[in-house]
A and B are shown apart, each in its own frame.
Chain A
């Protein structure tokens, strides 16, 4: 707690205290006034009282009553340590899927859906740099090595104006900073991966570093196979995080952080898939005085994907990539304890290669160079936070974005049937279109009593990068595209109201939030679009609108031997796109009526703890046949309405036990054992239809489940 107050005190930028380190010998909490005899500095010399201004320090830790934001979930990674894992890999993307309003995209998929939005409508940031595909192993694991992550904030709407570019949510992940005082080594091994982190001072109390790596050895299991072809397969991934931080004098802080990760899947040396992210960020924080400070950052993000076939008579690869270079600066002005303002600007250059087929040797394939796409995204924002009274906290601001689509490249005009009518050729840097959007937002929280509050918010978000995907799982045909002269920016307006209550001396938190979201310029494929025939993607797309609404409840127990939460969401999300389902509203794929997550951890003793989570949700909206007919002497299925059926309900129990093997100041180690999907429910990954083998002339539905039980084991150490 003390450290927390210290940290907060620094954050609140006290002029004198920022100059020197102080020991706070006592403090006041809430309404208990404790006289503070004197504050001494770190050397024990009492501070003259007039050097000290009155500082109001608000602990926001776990006190969601004091935030104006609706739909914000914040947690420290160390608080998720006991939760069950998949094969021993702690995963923040899996943890947030247990929160209300956040839906998992399903087994074998790291995507998530927030309040009815699509998987591409989440902005995932690692130290402010966007991560375009935070998935390993076709989605079984996320790219966030838990050892390198400090804190995660998830905004399910009502994000402050500092954030922009996606409709549904912002997942702001911050990396750990190295310890400035002493060296530390931690690490561990799970069933499929091993991890190691090293941190320490570069110059004591002034600068530090942290390097954290993870590598799978899933290939080893393949080597155990009797089949020589399987033994030749390769599948692995690695993550490497690094962060360097410096305190430059009394007023400046500088940090450089980076991440690189890569997946390789290779089948007998004949087929290969590999993809990876590289992100980097430089942050500089300068404090002018007790009221004004400036944060400046430069970030870089690169995601690329290659699918390749290498055979004697056929050798082709398909490559796509997404590159961002971005700079931003922000001035924070704290007029007094009740008013704070952020003013900032940012510029991002996007460079996309949408999918190039390349022929590595003389063969039968022409190189198909898709036009690269370049765009410039500029933003200006103002965000204010104003404690209007003891009870009323207001947060309001706006963001103005200007998205310019630039040449080189061909752009098209398309008629109503998706036929290209004109091709417009642009030279390098030539402006194709500019979309300027105003994105206002306002949130208010009103404290009803010491333990209860209501909040309301309205936010408009705009998205100019779109992921066009047509398969149930990640595939090379999923492509990021920027807005063009035809593809318009997606726009969402979200209204949200919530009630928040703390019970039993803040041991329990209860949250009820409702939301309504209206979406414009939503994109979907035309029926039967050939996704590989990618000359003019615009000719394969349809546009329309969407709406999503729901109610989210969360009951959280934060203290005691038993901790955890129950999250229940009742929601609806629909689309209406001209050319689909006779232009009627239809369920979005991720529309799931009910979603329930129960998460519990129990500390049996100092050494033993157990944890479990149980999830239940209504199956996705899917399209099943309504009939069948004969074509080409084959039975073909006949479809009527899109997404008018349901997959079977999904439910799963995961359990985990952690034992502390060794706990000394210098060295500690833990062992975790668990089972994912403990009662072996065969949850449907997909349902397909075929002619029955046992009853000729009949047709049957077949459900495919990916796995039943998945054991997990992990050993972690720290010294």
Chain B
């Protein structure tokens, strides 16, 4: 389905080669700093929660880390495990290992404010069987794209996220997929991205090492990543009214808490 959107966007871009871009001054309101929580627990030993605050639009990209918070994660009905602050705003646990099929509950306390979230690690760690590269016409230019092939389990409702690294340089595009249109099939998922900042490191050329991570995520996280990806969509496909991604954190913080599986594949482009 992402392919259809990409197709629409490409068509439009090619139809109007005369569009003109320029940087403009827009006066934006300032906003109260908001807490940002990014919590991850995986089946391969990562258990990490990052805490930071938002900035005004006209400030630089140095975001204050939040130190001194109390962060704990509880597995199903077990006891709470306290995470340790390893670096400013970076809380980790070396003991807690995520297990497939289990539910995890996050509790964060920042200066007396409580934030909670729950996430289910999907029961199966689906992996990428193979990767092939295809040449696609995107926005009027030819570009090579990785296609991740995997087999979707017969049960309905699986959701995935892919992360692509080219020579260990992470691609910023958010790739999400679910089995709505291909339940139980062998799927070739195309990792489309728009190189909108013309960064040569993002393009795939012969000799590059491409590593793709496949995460099995729960449906609330699919909603989060999907709504985040629509914010960065091309002008033509951008939502008419952008809004903050649909978070699974209660208490008024931005961000997400995700329990997911991770499987990687590494290939060299010929």
A positions within 8 Å CB-CB of B:
108, 137-138, 227, 229-230, 233, 235, 265, 267-268, 270-273, 307-309, 311-314, 316, 318, 357, 363-366, 368, 469-473, 475-476, 524-525, 527-530, 532-533, 535, 589, 622-640, 642-645, 648, 682, 684-691, 693, 697-708
Contacting residues of chain B (5-58) with chain A, CB-CB under 8 angstroms:
5, 7-8, 10-12, 14-16, 18-26, 28-31, 33-34, 36, 38, 52-58
Nearest chain A CB to B128 CB, angstrom units? 14
B8 touches A532 (CB 8 A): no
Q: Which of A235, A366, A528 has the most C-beta atoms of chain B within 10 angstroms of its own C-beta?
A: A528
In the assembled complex, which residues on chain A have CB atoms less than 8 Å from the CB atom of B155? none
B19 touches A707 (CB 8 A): yes
- Known interface pairs A636-B231, A642-B243, A701-B26. Does A307 touch B140 (Cβ–Cβ under 8 Å)? no
Contacting residues of chain B (168-218) with chain A, CB-CB under 8 angstroms:
170, 172, 174, 178, 180-188, 190, 196-197
In the assembled complex, which residues on chain B have CB atoms less than 8 Å from the CB atom of A637? 57, 231, 242
B254 in contact (CB, < 8 A): yes
Give A644's nearest chain B residue, CB to CB: B29
In the assembled complex, which residues on chain A have CB atoms less than 8 Å from the CB atom of B22? 682, 702-703, 705
Q: A702's contact among B23, B226, B245, by CB below 8 Å, is which? A: B23
Nearest chain B CB to A675 CB, angstrom units? 14
Q: A268's contact among B25, B61, B137, B228, by CB below 8 Å, is which? A: B137
In the assembled complex, which residues on chain A have CB atoms less than 8 Å from the CB atom of B95? none
Q: A368's contact among B21, B29, B181, by CB below 8 Å, is which? A: B181
In the assembled complex, which residues on chain B have CB atoms less than 8 Å from the CB atom of A229? 137, 140, 142
B3 touches A313 (CB 8 A): no
Bound Cα distance A688, B237 (Å) = 12
Interface contact tally, CB-CB below 8 A: 249
In the assembled complex, which residues on chain A have CB atoms less than 8 Å from the CB atom of B63? 629-630
Beyond A229-B140, A271-B7: 15 further Cβ-contacts under 8 Å?
A138-B12, A267-B11, A272-B7, A316-B181, A470-B241, A472-B235, A528-B227, A627-B54, A631-B228, A631-B254, A685-B235, A690-B196, A699-B57, A703-B24, A706-B18
B62 in contact (CB, < 8 A): yes
In the assembled complex, which residues on chain A have CB atoms less than 8 Å from the CB atom of B231? 636-637
In the assembled complex, which residues on chain B have CB atoms less than 8 Å from the CB atom of A476? 4, 8
B26 touches A687 (CB 8 A): yes
Give B152's nearest chain A residue, CB to CB: A364
B246 touches A528 (CB 8 A): yes
B14 touches A230 (CB 8 A): yes
Bound Cα distance A634, B187 (Å) = 28
Bound Cα distance A314, B177 (Å) = 15
- Known interface pairs A469-B240, A682-B20, A707-B18. Does A631 touch B26 (Cβ–Cβ under 8 Å)? no
Q: B14's contact among A108, A233, A368, A704, by CB below 8 Å, is which? A: A233
Q: B182's contact among A365, A686, A703, by CB below 8 Å, is which? A: A365
Bound Cα distance A343, B19 (Å) = 52
Q: Which of A357, A472, A632 has the most C-beta atoms of chain B within 10 angstroms of its own C-beta?
A: A632
Bound Cα distance A268, B140 (Å) = 10
B15 touches A138 (CB 8 A): yes
Q: A626's contact among B24, B30, B52, B172, by CB below 8 Å, is which? A: B30
B11 touches A688 (CB 8 A): no
Would you list 21 pairs from A and B whose C-beta atoms are within 8 A, ordered by A residue?
A: A271-B7, A273-B11, A314-B188, A365-B182, A473-B12, A524-B241, A529-B227, A625-B57, A627-B31, A628-B57, A628-B61, A629-B54, A629-B254, A631-B256, A636-B231, A637-B231, A638-B254, A644-B29, A701-B23, A701-B24, A708-B20
Bound Cα distance A705, B34 (Å) = 33
Bound Cα distance A472, B197 (Å) = 23
Bound Cα distance A699, B1 (Å) = 31
Nearest chain B CB to A335 CB, angstrom units? 51
In the assembled complex, which residues on chain A have CB atoms less than 8 Å from the CB atom of B55? 627-629
Nearest chain A CB to B200 CB, angstrom units? 13
A357 touches B235 (CB 8 A): no
B74 in contact (CB, < 8 A): no
A471 touches B29 (CB 8 A): no
Give B32's nearest chain A residue, CB to CB: A627
Bound Cα distance A229, B140 (Å) = 8
In the assembled complex, which residues on chain A have CB atoms less than 8 Å from the CB atom of B197? 690-691, 693
- Known interface pairs A316-B4, A472-B238, A705-B19. Does A630 touch B223 (Cβ–Cβ under 8 Å)? no
Q: B183's contact among A108, A366, A532, A645, by CB below 8 Å, is which? A: A366
Contacting residues of chain B (229-257) with chain A, CB-CB under 8 angstroms:
230-231, 235-246, 254-256
Give A633's nearest chain B residue, CB to CB: B170
A267 touches B26 (CB 8 A): no
Bound Cα distance A470, B237 (Å) = 9
- Known interface pairs A314-B3, A316-B4. Does A267 touch B241 (Cβ–Cβ under 8 Å)? no
In the assembled complex, which residues on chain B have CB atoms less than 8 Å from the CB atom of A689? 57
Bound Cα distance A535, B183 (Å) = 14
In the assembled complex, which residues on chain A have CB atoms less than 8 Å from the CB atom of B172? 634
Nearest chain B CB to A686 CB, angstrom units? 5
In the assembled complex, which residues on chain B have CB atoms less than 8 Å from the CB atom of A472? 235-236, 238, 240
In the assembled complex, which residues on chain A have CB atoms less than 8 Å from the CB atom of B18? 706-708
A364 touches B54 (CB 8 A): no
Bound Cα distance A472, B250 (Å) = 30
Contact flags B135-165 to A (C-beta < 8 A → 1, else 0): 0010010100001000000000000000000
A687 touches B29 (CB 8 A): no
Q: A703's contact among B21, B29, B186, by CB below 8 Å, is which? A: B21
Q: A642's contact among B1, B238, B241, B256, by CB below 8 Å, is which? A: B241
In the assembled complex, which residues on chain A have CB atoms less than 8 Å from the CB atom of B230? 528
B140 touches A527 (CB 8 A): no
Q: A271's contact among B11, B28, B54, B184, by CB below 8 Å, is which? A: B11
Nearest chain A CB to B53 CB, angstrom units? 7
B29 touches A626 (CB 8 A): yes
Give B161's nearest chain A residue, CB to CB: A632
B57 touches A626 (CB 8 A): yes
A316 touches B23 (CB 8 A): no
Give B245's nearest chain A residue, CB to CB: A528
Q: B28's contact among A470, A528, A625, by CB below 8 Å, is which? A: A625
Q: B237's contact among A366, A471, A642, by CB below 8 Å, is which? A: A471
Bound Cα distance A311, B3 (Å) = 11
Give B225's nearest chain A residue, CB to CB: A632
In the assembled complex, which residues on chain A have CB atoms less than 8 Å from the CB atom of B134? 311-313
In the assembled complex, which residues on chain A have CB atoms less than 8 Å from the CB atom of B188? 313-314, 364
- Known interface pairs A265-B11, A472-B238, A688-B238. Does A630 touch B36 (Cβ–Cβ under 8 Å)? yes
9 closest Cβ pairs, A-B complex: A528-B227, A271-B7, A527-B243, A626-B31, A629-B54, A528-B246, A627-B31, A701-B26, A697-B60
